[in-house]
Structure 1
Amino acid sequence: MDERSSAIEVIKLIKEIKELLRKAMTTQFENMEITSSQWMILGILMKNGRMKIGDLSKEVGLSNSTVTGIIDRLEKRNFVKRVRDSKDRRVIYIELTEEFEKNKKGLNLSMDNKLNEFLENVSETELKKVIDGLGILKDVLTKNLKGDDENN
């Protein structure tokens, strides 16, 4: 297979995988009455603790206005709250609410169960190959992007 055919095949596979994951996760998120974008934001906050909207935006790769809309919807559900910095009232942090903290175990279990269902029929060897392959792809893309940044 020549380089052009290989590149086209990689792009095609990535698009197909992305669509399959989107469909699977959308179904799961609908059952939990939450969108994938909301879940992504909640996951980042669970991992990092309170954050500014700008930092959240960078982390998820979405615009500040898009993240603000997601935060608004999460705030209406009492999953997150906005907290002003005590030293600089202009700075606003987003943090998880106590209500969400109480209920997040159920959400986590739902996601864990769904991921376990996906991986149920995959051998350890196959899973390792997938992880290794994705790691290689990430490294290649990262190196190329760094090279592009240096050339610009």
Structure 2
Amino acid sequence: MNKITDKRKDCFYMIKQLHDNIEKNANNLLKKYDLTMMQLGALMRLNKDGGGECTLKEFEKLLHLAQSTTAGIVKRLEQKKFVECFGDSLDKRIKKVRITAEGIKLCSIAAVDMEHAAKKYTKGISKEELNTFVNVIIKLCENADS
């Protein structure tokens, strides 16, 4: 195997290691809110990208998750009073999910915690390096989706 192939393998291994480390640290930080990184991520996507309310089907697409996984996340967030579920007024077959005031408040608090965590991970990295990294990650994600 040549050095370029070895570096690619190492790169994807390092991305996995970084993800695992970020998830572990985030989950430890989120214990005080009785949340996981996945639940908070879903809540923040609903708040920001979902406009605070959307159908369960739209939420699945927003999260890029299966229906069963999304339903489980929504159920746990609903039990914790961060979201509420209800039927569409015109079509009761359509289930909708809406972030609550408590969920919005949590997103604001968590955003501050996430900013502190991001500073830890980007310490010693210039703005140019970070921009390059972000652009490469975007391309990797686009390639993964194609």
User: Is the TM-score greater than 0.5?
Assistant: yes
Q: Specify the SS of the correspondent of 1:30.
A: helix
The one-character-per-residue Cα deviations of 1:75-96 (angstroms, maximum 9, x if unpaired) are: 1111000121111111111010
Q: Which of residues 70, 82, 85 is equivalent to 2:85?
A: 82
Specify the alignment match of 1:25 in structure 2. 26
How many pairs align? 143
Q: C-alpha displacement at 1:51, in angstroms?
A: 1.7
Equivalent runs, 1:6-25 vs 2, <5 Å: 6-25=7-26
Shift of 1:2: 5.0
Q: What secondary structure does 1:90 align onto?
A: coil
Contact 2:30-2:37 within 8 A present in 1 as well: yes
- State the identity %: 22
Residues 7 and 39 of structure 1, relative CA distance in 2, 3 Å threshold: same
Alpha-carbon spacing, 1:52–1:5, altered in 2? closer, same or farther (3 Å): same
Larger radius of gyration between Structure 1 and Structure 2: 1
What is the SS of the residue equivalent to 1:86?
coil
- 2:47–2:104 Cα contact (<8 Å) kept: no
TM-score normalised according to structure 1 size: 0.78
| Structure-2 residue corresponding to 1:36 | 37
Query: Deviation of residue 6 (structure 1)?
Result: 4.1
Mapped contact 1:28–1:111 kept (Cα < 8 A): no
Q: In 2, distance between residues paired with 1:137 and 1:102?
A: 33
Aligned CA distance change for structure 1 residues 102 and 127 (closer, same or farther; 3 Å):
closer
Aligned to 1:137: 140
Pick from 113, 118, 124 the counterpart of residue 116 of structure 2: 113
Matched, 1:127 2:101: no
Partner SS for 2:60: helix
Unaligned runs of 5+ in 2: none
Q: Which TM-score applies when normalising by structure 2?
A: 0.80
Alpha-carbon contact 2:82-2:100 (below 8 Å) kept: yes
